[in-house]
């Protein structure tokens, strides 16, 4: 299913204005961790590159379930938290 042209146009060249590091774990940090593991800044960049409208998430937790890397291999994630406390500070939070 191809995304609508207007949606692609609006998301085509969105660049973050600034970036800071996560200090404490949260649901948002967890999902950013998963996108960054797969080689993307965040959901915005993933949707731009892969031209998808929806990212597959676990219904119970809302965490990202599956991501496709740029080389077309897939990452599959658990329902539970995967970003450990020691990894939280590695997560980059981008501001648009």
Q: What does the pLDDT look like over 1-53, one tens digit per residue?
A: 444 444 444 445 678 899 999 999 999 999 999 999 999 999 999 999 999 99
d(CA 57, CA 73): 18
Q: What does the pLDDT look like over 70-86, one tens digit per residue?
A: 999 999 999 999 999 99
Inter-helix orientation angle 27-37/43-50, to 10°:
40
Nearest CA among 58, 56, 45 for reference residue 13: 45
Domain ranges of the chain: 18-95
Please, what is the end-to-end C-alpha distance for the chain in angstroms? 27
DSSP assignment of 47-76: HHHHT-S---B-TTT--B-EEE-TTS-EEE
């Amino acid at each position: 299913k191809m995304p609508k042209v207007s949606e692609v146009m609006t998301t085509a060249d969105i660049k973050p204005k600034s970036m800071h590091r996560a200090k404490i774990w949260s649901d948002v940090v967890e999902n950013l961790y998963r996108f960054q593991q797969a080689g993307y800044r965040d959901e915005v960049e993933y949707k731009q590159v892969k031209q998808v409208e929806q990212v597959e998430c676990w219904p119970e937790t809302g965490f990202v379930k599956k991501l496709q890397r740029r080389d077309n291999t897939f990452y599959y994630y658990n329902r539970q938290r995967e970003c450990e406390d020691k990894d939280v500070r590695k997560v980059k939070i981008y501001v648009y």
